[in-house]
């Protein structure tokens, strides 16, 4: 029954290779479509398909094969769509090559930015898919954001993003945001932008116009130094710190002296032995 | 100088043409796309709802990511509907619209409109806060644009139910479905390939310690797995190499018809596991959903037949 229904539809597709299909095999749309594709490239053959057994079929039913068929589109349509697909696939290749963490050649970046970015960026398709997962480097660790009044000795509220113990996608978004506060991860021209914006939005909530914005990083212990307990916040490494204050309505980002966490290069013993 | 005989070149060009037509234009059932639509709807709702708690703090009036910040930060071609939401009420209204679009996509209600609305609003959200995004967000954008192309509401949807209740014919195969499925499949392979190439630039993926570093810098990490890895070099190496090996085999193997079904089925487990290991479970689920585009249509037919019999 299904076979006969399919054959009637195939007749409208000028199928010439029917004899190659086994009637015992249950036909399906992919087979029908494939035959319709193939027949265009085959030489003319005698038309011998419409046997009585096949054509004299049963009344139509609403089965998969009697549904309204959408045959192969016209060559014009296929031509236009093929050109668009080729353009998109070229753009896809260029975005992968041009958004790599290893950088991009001048040629690739120029072609991509001039011809493809204007329409791929708005659609969020200008992506490199450079998902390294991890390189075991410090910036692969979880980051968090802590904002507090600059002089905490005078008391005050302290905000932490994400909140301690929180998990899930929202917390993941906060960690991603916090990682952007590391000066090394952003271009110089926007390096101070986020700390300033973060502080500016929290002046009222914290009741202070002089804030410390800290970006902390979860330590990454070696396997040999693994401890089963979750790392305490006191052990988090400071990745970046900024002081932001509002004076007379204008917001200022003040440079904060970097505190070195490393040991001095010159040892005391060497100092003692040194001659002036 | 004699010209090359054209008779030898013809079969290849025709073969390529037939292959191209079959890959991109062969009408395909909408059932696989319907399954992908539902999974995308769930993923979309999860990712969209992750903005809810901090929506005002991030994008609201006086929020951290103000219009000035985003104007400096964003690519010059980036645009967002959320730029127009300058009040708390308009921001919530637009956010609610996005939630409704994803819910409609999940159940397949007014699917063509829901798919367009969800894609546009999602991309707008990403452009509004590009410093908040993760790989899962990129994958969702790809899924949504492909659903805009295909007719994903023809099956397993409220639209299909309404159509059947009116006595209309069930929807048949469509070229649009084929285009959408093929694009999804190509992206599944390309994303995996790009990811694995990126990973292999790091030494830790070669020395087999990557699995440890995936977990070691996390604020909340699975302690028992880390303890097991700390105790066994081989387990750490095995997990690291398994990730790389799976990605390489997936990216290339889906192009081989005989391997497709097994790889996609394996991906349904492996991708979420990789996502969980890397701290982005949603990305893993998104990749598994993308991979479904490669599933042989016969799998969906047999599934549908089983459902009908039941």
**Among the partner residues A68, A133, A229, nearest to B199 by beta-carbon distance:** A133
Indicate yes or no: CB of A169 within 8 angstroms of CB of B282. yes
Per-residue pLDDT reduced to its tens digit, B44-69: 999 999 999 999 999 999 899 988 89
Residue labelled with tokens 């969980």: B276
Is residue B179 located within the same domain as residue B160?
no
Per-residue pLDDT reduced to its tens digit, B182-230: 999 999 999 999 999 999 999 999 999 999 999 988 888 888 899 899 9
Query: Once rounded to an integer, what is the mean pLDDT over residues B105-121?
Result: 96
Per-residue pLDDT reduced to its tens digit, A205-214: 988 889 999 9
Domain final residue, candidates B130, B164, B198: B164
Task: Among A32-41, A69-78, A107-116, B169-178, name the one with the lowest average pLDDT.
Answer: A32-41
Write down the pLDDT at residue A219.
87
A-contacting residues in B 280-299 (Cβ below 8 Å): 280, 282-283, 297-298
- Residue A104 lies in domain: 75-120
Segments of chain A assigned E as strands: 143-149, 159-161, 210-217, 237-247, 250-254
A-contacting residues in B 184-203 (Cβ below 8 Å): 186-187, 190-191, 194-195, 198-199, 201-203
Write down the pLDDT at residue A43.
38
The CA angle A178-A184-A185, to the nearest 5 degrees, is: 55
Domain final residue, candidates B106, B140, B164: B164
Is residue B157 located within the same domain as residue B281?
no
pLDDT at A39 over 50: no
- Mutual angle of helices B111-128 and B135-149, in 10-degree steps: 150
- The length of chain B is 310
Helices (H), B5-50: 6-25, 31-49
Q: Could you give the CA distance from residue B263 to residue A115 in angstroms, rounded to a whole number?
A: 36
Per-residue pLDDT reduced to its tens digit, A110-134: 999 999 999 999 999 999 898 888 8
- Residue B156 lies in domain: 29-164
B11 part of a folded domain = no
Q: Which pair of structure tokens corresponds to residue A2?
A: 């299904």
Q: Which pair of structure tokens corresponds to residue B75?
A: 């690519």
> Reduced to 3 states, what is the DSSP secondary structure of residue B164?
helix
* Total tally of structural domains belonging to chain B: 2
pLDDT at A242 over 90: no
Per-residue pLDDT reduced to its tens digit, A87-115: 999 999 999 999 888 888 999 999 999 99
A-contacting residues in B 233-252 (Cβ below 8 Å): 236, 243
A132 part of a folded domain = no
Write down the pLDDT at residue A15.
34
B170 part of a folded domain = no
pTM: 0.82
Task: Among A80-89, A258-267, B219-228, B288-297, name the one with the lowest average pLDDT.
Answer: A258-267
Is residue A58 located within the same domain as residue A81?
no
B308 part of a folded domain = no
Interface confidence, given as ipTM, is 0.90
The number of CA neighbours under 13 Å toward the Cβ of A276 is 0
**Among the partner residues B51, B230, B280, nearest to A226 by beta-carbon distance:** B230
Q: Could you give the CA distance from residue B21 to residue A163 in angstroms, rounded to a whole number?
A: 53
Kindly list the residues from chain A whose CB atom is less than 8 angstroms away from the CB atom of residue B282.
169
What DSSP assignment string belongs to A158-208?
Answer: -EEESPTT--SHHHHHHHHHHHTTSGGGS-GGGTTHHHHHHHHHHHHHHT-
Is residue B287 located within the same domain as residue B264?
yes
Is residue B179 located within the same domain as residue B67?
no
Q: Could you give the CA distance from residue B184 to residue A82 in angstroms, rounded to a whole number?
A: 16
Is residue B184 located within the same domain as residue B145?
no
Is residue A175 located within the same domain as residue A197?
yes
Where is pLDDT greater, at A38 or B255? Answer: B255
Indicate yes or no: CB of B26 within 8 angstroms of CB of A172. no
Indicate yes or no: CB of B142 within 8 angstroms of CB of A34. no
Determine the residue of chain A that is closest to B180 in CA distance: A85
Is residue A111 located within the same domain as residue A46?
no
* Total tally of structural domains belonging to chain A: 3
């Amino acid at each position: 029954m299904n076979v006969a229904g399919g054959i009637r539809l195939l007749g409208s597709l000028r199928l010439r290779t029917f004899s190659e299909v086994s009637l015992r095999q249950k036909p399906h749309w992919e087979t029908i479509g494939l035959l319709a594709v193939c027949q265009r490239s085959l030489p003319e053959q005698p038309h011998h398909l419409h046997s009585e057994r096949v054509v004299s079929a049963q009344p139509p039913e609403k089965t998969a094969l009697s549904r309204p068929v959408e045959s192969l589109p016209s060559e014009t349509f296929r031509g236009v769509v093929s050109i668009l697909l080729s353009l998109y696939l070229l753009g896809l290749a260029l975005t992968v090559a041009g958004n790599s963490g290893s950088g991009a050649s001048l040629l690739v970046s120029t072609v991509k930015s001039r011809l493809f970015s204007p329409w791929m960026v708005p659609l969020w398709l200008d992506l490199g898919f450079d998902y390294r997962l991890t390189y075991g480097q410090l910036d692969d660790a979880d980051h968090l954001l802590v904002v507090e009044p600059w002089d905490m000795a005078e008391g005050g509220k302290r905000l932490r993003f994400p909140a301690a113990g929180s998990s899930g996608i929202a917390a993941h978004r906060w960690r991603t945001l916090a990682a952007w506060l590391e000066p090394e991860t952003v271009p110089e021209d926007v390096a101070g932008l986020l700390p300033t914006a973060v502080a500016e939005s929290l002046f009222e909530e914290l009741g202070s116009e002089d804030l410390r914005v800290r970006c902390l990083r979860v330590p990454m212990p070696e396997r040999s130094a693994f401890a089963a307990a979750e790392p305490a916040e006191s052990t988090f490494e400071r990745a970046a710190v900024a002081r932001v204050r509002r004076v007379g309505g204008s917001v200022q980002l003040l440079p904060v002296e970097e505190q070195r966490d490393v040991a001095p290069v010159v040892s005391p013993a060497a100092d003692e032995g040194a001659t002036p | 100088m004699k010209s090359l005989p054209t008779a030898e070149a013809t079969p290849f060009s025709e073969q390529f043409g037939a292959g191209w037509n079959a890959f991109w234009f062969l009408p395909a059932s909408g059932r696989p796309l319907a399954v992908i639509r539902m999974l995308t709807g769930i993923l979309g709702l999860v990712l969209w709802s992750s903005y809810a708690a901090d929506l005002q703090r991030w994008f609201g009036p006086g929020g951290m990511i103000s219009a000035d910040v985003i104007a400096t930060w964003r690519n010059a071609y980036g645009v967002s509907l959320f730029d127009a939401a300058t009040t708390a009420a308009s921001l919530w209204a637009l956010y609610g619209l996005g939630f409704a679009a994803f819910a409609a996509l999940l159940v397949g209600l007014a699917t063509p409109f829901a798919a367009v609305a969800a894609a546009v609003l999602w991309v707008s959200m990403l452009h509004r806060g590009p410093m908040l995004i993760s790989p899962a967000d990129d994958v969702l954008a790809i899924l949504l644009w492909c659903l805009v192309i295909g007719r994903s509401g023809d099956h397993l949807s409220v639209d299909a139910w309404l159509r059947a209740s009116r006595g209309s014919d069930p929807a048949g195969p469509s070229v649009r479905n084929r285009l959408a499925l093929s694009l999804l499949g190509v992206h599944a392979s390309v994303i995996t390939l790009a990811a694995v190439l990126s990973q292999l630039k790091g030494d830790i993926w070669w020395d087999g310690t990557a699995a440890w570093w995936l977990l070691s810098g996390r604020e909340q990490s699975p302690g028992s797995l880390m303890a097991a890895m700390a105790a066994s070099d081989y387990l750490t190496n095995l997990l690291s190499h398994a990730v790389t090996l799976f990605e390489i085999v997936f990216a290339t193997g889906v192009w081989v018809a005989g391997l497709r079904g097994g790889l996609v089925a394996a991906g349904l487990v492996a991708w979420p596991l990789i996502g969980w290991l890397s701290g982005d479970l949603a990305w893993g689920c998104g990749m598994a959903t993308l991979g479904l585009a490669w599933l042989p249509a016969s799998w969906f037919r047999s599934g549908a037949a089983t459902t009908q019999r039941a």
